[in-house]
Amino acid sequence: MKLHDFRDSLTSSEPPSKLSRVLMALWWDAKQDWTRAHECAQQEETSEGAWVHAYLHRKEGDQNNAAYWYGRAGKPVCREPLETEWLQIAQELLK
């Protein structure tokens, strides 16, 4: 799936069936459902899952928890706008 396809899927009420949990987390986040996004991210015990988890806690405003998850992901704490980070994560996960 390409980024434009992923973004186009946001017009649907349900995510595409073949999405990974981390992409599903980003999908639900883009649909303004932080709780469902967080549930998906928590289920993925990989560095990618930790990265999405970090992003979600940063968005929530819990900077300490976000910093912990960035560390688990092996990523520096992001200071970019949330929209920019969302795109960076999506692009990386869709490779």
User: What sign does the CA torsion over 1, 80, 83, 66 have?
Assistant: positive
**Type of residue at 85:** E
User: Confidence class of residue 20 from pLDDT cuts 50, 70 and 90?
Assistant: very high
* pTM of the model as a whole: 0.94
CATH fold of 3-9+21-93 reads 1.25.40
**Domain ranges within the chain, ordered by starting residue:** 3-9+21-93
Q: 21-73 pLDDT, tens per residue?
A: 999 999 999 999 999 999 999 999 999 999 999 999 999 999 999 999 999 99
**Backbone phi and psi for residue 36, each to the nearest 5 degrees, phi listed first:** -65, -40
The DSSP line for 31-66 is: TT-HHHHHHHHHT--SHHHHHHHHHHHHHHT-HHHH
